[in-house]
Amino acid sequence: MAFFLETLLGGLMAGMLYSLVALGFVLIFKASGVFNFAQGAMVLFGALSMARFSEWIPQWTGVDNLWMANVLAFAMAAVVMFVVAWAVEYLVLRHLVNQEGATLLMATLGIAYFLEGLGQTLFGSSIYKIDIGMPKDPVFILDNFFEGGVLVNKEDFYAALIAAALVTMLSIFFQKTATGRALRAVADDHQAAQSIGIPLNRIWMIVWCVAGIVALVAGMIWGSKLGVQFSLATVALRALPVVILGGLTSVPGAIIGGLIIGVGEKLSEVYLGGFVGGGIEIWFAYVLALGFLLIRPQGLFGEKIIDRV
């Protein structure tokens, strides 16, 4: 039982990180109606910014305190992500208002390749590390209930708490505020939203800025765990099955989908790996997503699209 709980908790903590990345996909899709293939590149760009600024700030300012250096590095990286979001909206999306979804999709692919190249030009192509002070030693909990206790990785636990807090704040913001209602209106119909006075460009700007901050936090956490390298962009794409499972238009779906995928990956690797071979954790989520595409294409919480002719 203790081992099962260890696996379950590990899956839940991994699932919160998946949810954080998936939330960026959902926000962009809700605002523009297009799947943002640049989200992985944004995660990488944010992680590179955080890693390099955390190295440069002690040299520039003489600040030796790790916490203060990380705060300054995060602030500067956030400014960089805001600038990137503004540039994307002003130089690309503003000129593609009311265009076909395929056009916007190709635009995000171009943005992805551009950000990867720009990141390598500005920050270098080496492998960097991010030290945000999270403890990496495991700890045993529930000693009184299970012999030997349940092993929990402290770094994964704190990372999951950070992801859960950010996801909760964003969920409240987009569900309860006027900006959130405007975002939903824009997602339903761009032209109708413009006709009632909702500034489409401003909404897109806000959403891309929020998605940039989400990508920065996700990159910071994944970079702390895995190191900052260009393969980090592909790690972010592991959140694709999450949005398929939860629904492309649902913020709660990104959360629930991430938890399901995280737990499913861990449990399948432990309990099914012996029957189907190793590596099931890598492809389990995609097989599950394929099944949902066949049975319920809109996902668990996605909205059905009905075209009347």
Digit-coded pLDDT (tens) for 104-118: 788 888 999 999 889
Residue 141's DSSP bridge partners are: 150
Residue 92, SS3?
coil
Instruction: For the chain, give every domain's residue range.
Output: 2-295
For residues 236 and 117, is the Cβ–Cβ distance under 8 A? Answer: no
CATH architecture for segment(s) 2-295: Orthogonal Bundle (1.10)
Predicted local distance difference test score (pLDDT) of residue 309:
52
Question: Whole-model pTM?
Answer: 0.86
| Average pLDDT, integer, range 265-270 | 85
The pairing of beta strand 138-141 with beta strand 150-153: antiparallel
Digit-coded pLDDT (tens) for 62-114: 777 888 888 899 999 999 999 998 888 788 877 876 677 778 788 888 999 99
The closest of 110, 91, 90 to 34, measured between CA atoms, is 110
If you count DSSP H runs as helices and E runs as strands, how many of each does the chain have, helices first? 13, 2
Predicted local distance difference test score (pLDDT) of residue 148:
67
The closest of 62, 43, 73, 22 to 253, measured between CA atoms, is 22
Digit-coded pLDDT (tens) for 129-159: 888 877 777 777 777 776 767 778 788 888 8
| 289: number of Cβ within 10 Å | 19
As to burial, measured by CB atoms within 10 angstroms (0-12 exposed, 13-18 middle, 19+ buried), residue 248 is buried
Residue 140, SS3?
strand
Higher pLDDT, 212 or 100: 212
For residues 253 and 247, is the Cβ–Cβ distance under 8 A? Answer: yes
